[in-house]
Structure 1
């Protein structure tokens, strides 16, 4: 009788931990994904401002300029008003509404 009670309590404990842990893992994965998307979004806004300032001056936005801002697993693409693309790191197709496109494989997001 005592052994059955101990086994039942251990089983209930394991079940409760599993019932809490599985949804928690999905929530945590979504949180990490949302944070990575937010980082990419903020980085692309900052990069768009840098590109705007660079184009206002005499500077040219080329691969050398963009390569300074690429992280390990990301990429940056820029299409100038003359429709000449500049890419740094892995290539990507720029979005039509924005001259700057940033991507991060962890977040699986493109802006």
Structure 2
């Protein structure tokens, strides 16, 4: 294993809402992703959802409030809580989740995750 430079990995990503696996540990995927616009409302019934903002500003809409995140901010959406990520401008994120977790909460509509 060598050191992973998150910024270098993000530079390889051109599309939005398409998580890329950069490492794995203890059955979890560590991913980078670029977001722009609004995602779908969804929840994850069996796992929390980890967001770490590398660059930009992200709004996590929850049913009862909005959570505003900037560079260096981390937020964990508890399992079962509906949320909708929104990025007015491009946002770069680091995500950690159990391997195989669908990003929409539904395997039928989830983005295919590839390793870079």
- Per residue, is there more helix in 1 or in 2? 1
- Per residue, is there more strand in 1 or in 2? 2
TM-score by length of 1: 0.29
Structure number with larger C-alpha Rg:
1
